[in-house]
Chain A
Amino acid sequence: MNEPVVHIIDDDESVRKSLRWLIESVGLKVNCYASANAFVETSIDASPGCMVLDVRMPGMSGLDLQEKLNKSDLPLPVIIVTGHADVPMAIRALKSGAFDFIEKPYNDQHLLDRVQDAISHSTQSLSADAEKQEAQRRIDSLTPRERQVLQLVTEGCANKQIASQLDLSIKTVETHRANLMSKMQANSLPALIKLVMSAEE
């Protein structure tokens, strides 16, 4: 997986620069953007990471950007920073899925902790995604008959029951079962069931 990136979006150049300085001090990679539009126009790869937004910016505001991001499938948690913490704004941010809401002036350790939390959250969801996709890919590679057998196997049926349900000989069922185990790259029944469950999540 790629190195995590912290995306900083703030219209004030010195705040932007100083945040980069602070966050780079703990060895994280940082990208800066002068406006929400500049961020939207840049193509972001699927690296893990998080975003630090100023809530009040000319053009698209931080909250607008966050709502826009929710509609895309970029798994980037958003930390909103503001000098104008008022209750309605905080509620709106958290409701629309902000990871956290930090008020200026803030404690640097608190900010860095939240950034780290957000990154690990993003990493997890990315790897869960990858796992799910891989399991799905393997299931897709099965033939329709193998998929029927898989369905019955995961329901806990023995080969004999499967054979009678599908009107096949036990020998044929065994062959299908061996094929699907190897296609699913599962060496045991529990491993197989785990794979199927992760695809269904």
Chain B
Amino acid sequence: MILRAAIIILSAACSWYAAPALAKAGNPEAQTVRIGVLAFRGASKAHQRWDHVANYLSQQISGHQFSIDTFDLIGMDEAVRQKQIDFVLTNPGNYVRLESLFGATRITTLSNLYHGKPYTLYGAVILTRADNKDIRELPDLAGRSFMAVSENAFGGFQMAWYELHQQGIDPFHDFSRLEFNGFPQDRIVMAIKNGEVDAGTVRAETFSRMIEERRIRAEDFTILNPRTDENYPFPHSTRLYPEWAFAKLNHTDEMLAQQVAVALLTFRENTRHSIQSSTGWTIPLDYSRVHETFRVLKIGPYANTGKITLGGIWGQYHLWIIAGMLFILIIMITTAYVIRINRRLTSSQIELHDQIKVRKQAEAQLAQHTDMLEEIVEERTRELKSVNLELENDIQVRKNIEEILRSSDAALRKLYEITSGTGVSFDKKVDSLLRFGCECFHLPRAQLLKFEQGAFNVIKQCPENESHPSSTETGFCFGVPVKVREKVDGAICFIGDADIPPTLSSVDRDILQLIAQWLGGEIERIAAEEKAREHRSQLAHVSRLGTMGEMASGLAHELNQPLTAIANFTRGCIRRLQKNDPDLPAILSAMDYSVREAERAAEIIKRLRNFVSKGELSRSMTSINDTVRMVLELSANEISRYAIAVELDLDESLPEILADHIQIEQVVLNLLRNSIESIQAIAQTRTINIRTSHDSQTITVTLRDNGPGIDEHTRENLFHPFFTTKKQGMGLGLSISRSIIEAHGGQLTVSDATIPGCAFSFTLPTNNNHVEHDDE
């Protein structure tokens, strides 16, 4: 292998030294291959630099004669477009331009040697004088003078331009002076050194080479935005870009391109000891960074300048175009406005003429009308006088009527007072009414009759001590029937001593009718209430039986506990006593426990009996706090079974009220059982809070739980009979509870949905004037 490599090198070296001779000899059949080289330092320098590459390639690739053609940037474009050249060797900036415009493809990248180490990247350095203390960063360059090679030089300007652009500096606007000095770049360095310009940019190698040649001293300069890179041995200021590219063009033969690439890649070995030791080739690098820089700077293939487009014209002259159009618009509007005003003036002139004519006619008519008006006024005055006379008569009549009304008004007011009195029993109201009737009609006696079994019986009379009722023989009698549900239920009757009954005015008759109607209504209402009360107490009874049934199993469990304990204690004692040497004190203590458990069982049974024995319904002075405690005792078993914490917040100054305590107890029990059932669903600590409070008018009892609460549908139907959310239950509990509380003159309500959990409250009046007639 080593041998083979050596042979290749040797033969290549031989052919290399033989190359000039062959080239001079010329090969008439050889095909000419032209390599276009970018030469911005002149054709002779380019030939000096690159001719050996062409010679080398002619040597390596038989049948082809390679030659170097030199171009500037514009000439290069033209040559490529006309396919005058087959390969290009150019800087990265020009390469990416040719790549975008003509589809050039790089096949190798130039590689340089520095102290024996190859590098394939290059960058530029941005310099200022070391004693120029005001310039330390790139942004400090704004407003300064700057020197570069040329606008199109990639290493000599565009690399630095990109870095300046990144720092927000536009070299064409922000510098006080921007000079393009051309080649050689050394002159830019010298210009900075001599203070001709404040700063400038050159290829990084140029600056380092001048230092090595001792033409300048490094400490005289400051490198702005300094960077170092292990792949590039020189200090630099810009990003690094790949070196010059050797590229094939679209029309270049693929095979030839491959041969060239292979030849170039082996180039360095062959020329290791030649004078061109600084040049070699490497695999093509990635030029996307150059593209990016051009894209950012909007130059090269990304330049949009030079083309005349509508957008471009607009961009440049839009202010003038807008101003011109605005001016034309204003003139048009003004003209239109003047024309319109003219037209309007003409028409209003015509109108004015018409109006003057009409006004003259109207004045003539007005004079005529004034004459007529005077006649009419005379006639009206006559009419008014007669009307006035009639009115005086009317006023007299009305005064009489008012007199009558005043007396009947007093009577009606009295009637209203009697019937609407609160806290007065029906009986007393009837008495007052009869007495009032006597006074009103100036009669001595009145009777209330009830129609039963085909006859009217007197059930009340006024004055009460009058022994005999129907004295039609000695006097007269008039009465009105009392109707209940359209049927004659009785009659009210007034009796006088004189033979001739007094004439009753229509007002009197109305009053009589009113009394009869009120009586009928009251009798009907009392009957209905009686029926409702019976119904309610039946329902309450049913509900109570239901509750007892539900509680029975809980009570059985509760009773089972002490019984089990008693059995265990006793059996344990027996077993110990059967042994020899029993521990008597321990046994005695166990027996003691056993007795205590028996008492606990007895207590449970007593409580049960109390609950069951409360059968009859009656109202008595009741302590609501006691009722609440009683209910809690009854439910103690369930409360502990579901581990519910009950918070009692009882107002100890609560007054006793007149109530049916069994019914109130039932309400509290219903609410508590609802809470217990709903609260079972939750996993966290279950809490029920019971609170009593009062003010001068009412007592309020509130049960609140932290259960899941009530949904909207349930809330709407909560108090409807037979609505239930429970698996077992008739859905009567809350509806009965509400009717019980309302019968006591209170209200049962549920908290609104905004509060978590659920709260029921009921109120009861403290002074029960509103007592239903339970005692009747």
Contacts and interface: CB of A to CB of B under 8 A. Distances in A.
A18 B561 CA distance: 11
A18 B565 contact: yes
Given A25-B575, A58-B640, A58-B642, A15 B557 contact: no
B228 interface: no
A31 to B, nearest CB: 17
A22 B572 CA distance: 4
A83 B643 contact: no
A137 B422 CA distance: 97
Contacts of B597: 14, 18
Contact of B593 (A17, A26, A84): A17
A18 B593 contact: yes
Contact of A83 (B556, B567, B590, B642): B556
Interface string B553-581: 10011001111111111011001100000
Contacts of A129: none
B359 interface: no
Contacts of A26: 575
Contact of B562 (A14, A22, A106): A14
Contacts of A83: 556-557, 560-561, 564
Interface string A15-56: 101110110111000000000000000000000000000001
Interface in B15-46: none
Contacts of A14: 561-562, 565, 593, 596-597, 600
Contacts of A19: 568
A12 B561 contact: yes
Contact of A21 (B561, B590, B600): B590
Contacts of B643: 58-59
Contacts of B642: 58
A21 B567 contact: no
Contacts of A25: 571-572, 575-576
A144 interface: no
A104 to B, nearest CB: 5
A108 interface: yes
A88 to B, nearest CB: 15
A15 B576 contact: no
B641 interface: yes
Contacts, number: 68
A17 B586 CA distance: 13
Interface residues of B, number: 27
Interface in B335-370: none
A190 interface: no
B641 A58 contact: yes
Nearest to A109: B571
A108 B571 contact: yes
Contacts of B563: 104-105
A56 B569 contact: no
Contacts of A21: 568-569, 572, 590, 593
Nearest to B586: A21
Contacts of A12: 561, 565
B709 to A, nearest CB: 23
Contacts of B562: 14
Q: Select the residue from B557, B563, B572 with max chain A CB neighbours within 10 A.
A: B572
Interface in A1-21: 12, 14-15, 17-19, 21
B356 to A, nearest CB: 107
B67 to A, nearest CB: 81
A17 B565 contact: yes
B567 A15 contact: no
Given A58-B641, A59-B643, A84-B553, A15 B561 contact: yes
A59 B686 CA distance: 11
A15 B564 contact: yes
Interface string B430-455: 00000000000000000000000000
Contacts of B561: 12, 14-15, 83
Contact of A15 (B553, B568, B571, B596): B568
Given A17-B593, A25-B576, A26-B575, A108 B553 contact: no
A56 to B, nearest CB: 7
A106 B643 CA distance: 26
Q: Is the interface of B mostly helix, strand, loop or mixed?
A: helix
Interface in B640-662: 640-643
Contacts of A22: 568-569, 571-572, 575
Contacts of A106: 564
Given A12-B561, A83-B560, A18 B640 contact: no
Contacts of A104: 560, 563-564
A82 to B, nearest CB: 9
Interface in B513-567: 553, 556-557, 560-567
A193 to B, nearest CB: 47
A59 B562 CA distance: 22
A58 B565 CA distance: 19
Contact of A56 (B557, B564, B571, B594): B557
A93 B557 CA distance: 19
A38 B564 CA distance: 23
A6 B594 CA distance: 22
A104 B641 CA distance: 17
A15 B596 CA distance: 12
Interface in A76-120: 83-84, 104-106, 108
Contacts of A105: 560, 563-564, 567
A130 B571 CA distance: 37
Contacts of B571: 22, 25, 108
B558 to A, nearest CB: 9
Interface in B599-643: 600, 640-643
Contacts of B640: 58
B555 to A, nearest CB: 11
B571 to A, nearest CB: 4
Contacts of B560: 83, 104-105
B514 to A, nearest CB: 67
Nearest to A35: B643
A18 B569 contact: yes
Contacts of A59: 643
B593 A56 contact: no
A18 B590 CA distance: 8
A108 B596 CA distance: 20
A25 B568 CA distance: 10
B572 A24 contact: yes
Nearest to A19: B568
Nearest to B554: A84
A170 B642 CA distance: 75
A60 to B, nearest CB: 11
Q: Select the residue from B556, B564, B594, B597 with max chain A CB neighbours within 10 A.
A: B564
A122 B657 CA distance: 64
Interface string B155-187: 000000000000000000000000000000000
A26 B575 CA distance: 8
B432 to A, nearest CB: 64
A18 B564 contact: yes
A21 B562 CA distance: 15
Q: Select the residue from B553, B569, B596 with max chain A CB neighbours within 10 A.
A: B569
B231 to A, nearest CB: 58
A56 B575 CA distance: 29
A56 B641 contact: yes
The 9 A-B pairs at the shortest CB distance, nearest first, are namely A18-B568, A58-B643, A108-B571, A25-B575, A83-B560, A21-B572, A18-B565, A14-B565, A22-B572
Given A17-B565, A25-B576, A105-B563, 16 more contacts: A14-B565, A18-B564, A18-B565, A19-B568, A21-B569, A21-B572, A25-B571, A25-B572, A56-B641, A58-B643, A59-B643, A83-B557, A83-B561, A104-B564, A105-B567, A106-B564
16 contacts: A12-B565, A14-B562, A14-B593, A15-B565, A17-B593, A18-B565, A18-B566, A18-B569, A19-B568, A21-B590, A56-B641, A58-B641, A83-B560, A104-B563, A105-B563, A105-B567
Interface of B: 553, 556-557, 560-569, 571-572, 575-576, 590, 593-594, 596-597, 600, 640-643
